[in-house]
Amino acid sequence: MAYSEDIPLPEGDIILKVSGAIENTNLGDTVQFDREMLEKIGMVDLVTATPWHDGRISFSGVPLRSLLDFVGSQGETIVAVALNDYEVEIPVSDAFDTEVILALTMNGEVMSVRDKGPVFVIYPYDSSEKLNSQTYFSRSAWQVAHLIIR
């Protein structure tokens, strides 16, 4: 792993840390992001029904594949760790086979911890039967603070 001068240090509150099998870092062996840094990677909109909300919800966030490319991911598995230390494994292939995002806003509002933020793993659940299943619901960690690439 090497420090990349292309990745600045966060100036705002750190909302996500990425570590593990990555090529690019900005602080020790990690990449630490504030909200603005994540937004600069590129945001997309995703409207989907979820098992946790009524009706279809509009989310905006960073495509997981874009984040993995940004940090130079070299692994096969992502361990998403929530603020309460809940962990779930997500295959890296999901980032390239689905339109999964790291949602930062819900219905146009920045997600607080109370609203499952600041980072919520969201799949386009209602885009296919495959994604509208417990397998993908269980990978949808909320209040994500750390991604460990293995």
Q: What is the pLDDT of residues 78-104, one digit of tens each?
A: 999 999 999 999 999 999 999 999 999
Up-side HSE of residue 74: CA atoms within 13 Å toward CB?
8
pLDDT, tens digit, for every residue of 114-130? Answer: 999 999 999 999 999 99
Q: Is 141 exposed, middle or buried, given 0-12, 13-18 or 19+ CB atoms closer than 10 A?
A: buried
Which tokens belong to 1?
């792993």
Rounded CA separation 61/46 (Å): 8
pLDDT at 40 over 80: yes
Q: Is the overall model pTM greater than 0.85, yes or no? A: yes
Determine contact, residues 99/46, Cβ cutoff 8 Å.
Answer: yes
Q: Would you say residue 1 has pLDDT above 50?
A: no
Q: How confident is the model at residue 6 (pLDDT cuts 50, 70, 90)?
A: confident
Q: What is the pLDDT of residues 41-89, one digit of tens each?
A: 999 999 999 999 999 999 999 999 999 999 999 999 999 999 999 999 9
